[in-house]
């Protein structure tokens, strides 16, 4: 039995805690909170011990706090750093390394520059075994994770036949729970986005990926518009869809008209947190013209990285074989059943 502490209880931390508490191989030490807000009581009501920074403990006197984050880290085998983005490097240097504890960092951190948190950016579809023996690993962001689920199967199937990937990432403005964030009436573009460099970090720097990124006023998932150029005639749409038929965490939807419709379907099916935890290929938007495959797929923002974090834990803590790790994650997340339900709900009309 391994002891895992979740340092942060926001969009990622709250989801991950809820899933891994049912893992018979893991004991959840508790969750870390940095602000005395309603999320503290939420965590306590769900049965999690709450730990806070030692220097802030007086601010939490109205709550039943278990102890300090510093003590929780010291008693853990691994920490999932789900604290506010950009604080991972400081936590690594001040908390995790001094206490010789393994740590997983989220997409708000970086694998570049002087404040890089790791020399490995994890994507279970690409580099699962590379996490064996690592003490500090960064889990890719939702967009970066999603691209791995799409690009890697294409690369494995078609290899050097692919000339380049050209993508437009249409990003949601804020997560569903981030109600303090205003969603303004504007579209923003992002110069020099990190997403392409992050993908190339795990797929190889010579990966012919070219991205543009915009942010639109919605909370209902990301959407990727991806064009794949081939040296000769592109494969037919049916061949592309067949490639993803049995791909883990990728559903093929025919009749979905928008991202909120998918989110509403997930809610109606009682999926936890309204998450699908997967990529959704929009089959009615798939075209193959000359040398180019044009596809669109939506990305379940925060939800997609939660099973990825769990798979990464198994690589770092147990060094499980790939198939065994996926089977164990499936026992908690039921991705195959979610995929079946979504594909039936949005099936092609005869």
Tell me the mean pLDDT in the region 77-103.
95
Structure token pair of residue 300: 């379940």
Of residues 55, 46, 39, 53, the one with CA closest to residue 7: 53
Q: What is the mean pLDDT of residues 295-321?
A: 97
180: pLDDT strictly greater than 90: no
Q: What are phi and psi of 92, to 5 degrees?
A: -60, -50
* 32-57 residues labelled b (16+ CB within 10 A) or e (exposed): bbbebeebbeebbeeebbbbbeeeee
Res. 86: pLDDT tops 90: no
Q: Name the burial class of residue 192, with classes exposed (0-12), middle (13-18) and buried (19+) by CB atoms within 10 angstroms of its CB.
A: exposed
pLDDT the model gives residue 105 = 98
What does the pLDDT read at residue 342? 98
> How far apart (Å, rounded) are the C-alpha atoms in residues 140 and 138?
6
Across the chain, mean pLDDT equals 97
**Residues annotated catalytic, as ranges:** 142
Using a 10 angstrom Cβ sphere, with 0-12 exposed, 13-18 middle and 19 or more buried, the burial of residue 180 is exposed
Give the pLDDT confidence of 338-349 residue by residue, as tens digits: 999 999 999 998
Superfamily of domain 142-304+335-346: Dihydrodipicolinate Reductase; domain 2 (3.30.360.10)
- pLDDT band with cut points at 50, 70 and 90 for residue 184: very high
Angle at 167 between CA 165 and CA 169, to 5 degrees: 155
Cα separation, 313 vs 23, in Å, equals 11
What residues contact 335, with CB distance under 8 A and at least 6 apart? 248, 249, 277, 278, 307, 329
Q: What is the mean pLDDT of residues 232-241?
A: 98
Check pLDDT > 80 for residue 350. no
Q: Which residues in the chain are classed under CATH 3.30.360.10? A: 142-304+335-346
- pLDDT category at 84 given cuts 50, 70, 90 is confident
> Considering the entire predicted model, what is its pTM?
0.96
Residue 142's pLDDT band, with cuts at 50, 70 and 90, is: very high
According to the model, what pLDDT value does residue 138 have?
98
Q: How many Å separate Cα 89 from the centre of its chain?
A: 19
Q: Is beta strand 209-216 parallel, antiparallel or unpaired with respect to 162-172? A: parallel
Contact 204, 249 (CB under 8 A): no
CATH superfamily of this structure's domain 2-140+305-332: NAD(P)-binding Rossmann-like Domain (3.40.50.720)
Instruction: Give CA–CA dist 122/135, Å, rounded.
Output: 13
The Cα–Cα gap between 262 and 218 comes to 14
Q: Residue 212's pLDDT band (boundaries 50, 70, 90)?
A: very high
Model confidence band, residue 186 (pLDDT cutoffs 50, 70, 90): very high
pLDDT tops 80 at residue 18: yes
Q: How do residues 101-126 score in pLDDT, each as one tens digit?
A: 999 999 999 999 999 999 999 999 99
Binning pLDDT at 50, 70 and 90, where does residue 143 land? very high
Cα(242)–Cα(250) distance, integer angstroms: 12
CATH code 3.40.50.720 region(s) in the chain:
2-140+305-332
Query: Residues 65-71: what's their mean pLDDT?
Result: 97
Q: 3-class DSSP state for residue 101?
A: coil
> Residue 251 above 90 pLDDT?
yes
Residue 288, beta-bridge partner list: 293
């Amino acid at each position: 039995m391994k002891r895992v502490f979740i340092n942060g209880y926001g969009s990622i931390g709250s989801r991950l805690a809820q899933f891994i508490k049912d893992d018979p191989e893991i004991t959840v030490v508790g969750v870390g909170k940095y602000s005395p807000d309603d999320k503290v009581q939420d965590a306590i009501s769900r049965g999690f011990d709450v730990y806070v920074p030692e220097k802030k403990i007086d601010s939490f006197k109205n709550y039943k706090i278990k102890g300090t984050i510093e003590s929780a880290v010291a008693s853990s085998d691994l920490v999932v750093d789900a604290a506010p983005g950009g604080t991972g490097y400081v936590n690594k240097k001040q908390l995790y390394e001094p206490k010789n504890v393994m740590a997983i960092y989220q997409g708000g951190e970086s694998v570049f520059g002087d404040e890089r948190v790791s020399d490995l950016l994890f994507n279970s579809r690409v580099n699962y075994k590379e996490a064996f023996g690592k003490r500090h690993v960064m889990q890719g962001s939702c967009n970066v994770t999603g691209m791995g689920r799409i690009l890697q199967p294409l690369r494995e199937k078609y290899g050097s036949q692919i000339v380049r990937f050209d993508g437009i990432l249409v990003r949601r403005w804020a997560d569903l729970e981030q109600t303090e964030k205003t969603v303004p009436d504007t579209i923003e573009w992002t110069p020099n986005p990190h997403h392409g460099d992050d993908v190339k970090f795990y797929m190889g720097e010579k990966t012919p990926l070219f991205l543009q990124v915009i942010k639109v006023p919605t909370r209902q998932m990301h959407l990727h518009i991806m064009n794949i150029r081939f040296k000769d005639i592109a494969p037919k749409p049916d061949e592309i869809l067949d490639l993803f038929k049995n791909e883990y965490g990728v559903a093929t939807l025919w009749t979905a008209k928008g991202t909120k419709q998918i989110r509403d379907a997930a809610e109606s099916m009682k999926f936890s947190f309204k998450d699908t935890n997967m990529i959704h290929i929009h089959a009615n938007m798939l075209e193959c013209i000359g040398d180019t495959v044009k596809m669109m797929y939506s990305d379940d923002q925060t939800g997609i990285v939660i099973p990825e974090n769990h798979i990464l834990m198994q690589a770092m803590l147990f060094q499980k074989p790939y198939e065994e790790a996926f089977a164990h994650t499936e026992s908690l997340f039921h991705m195959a059943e979610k995929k079946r339900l979504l594909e039936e709900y949005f099936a092609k009309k005869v």
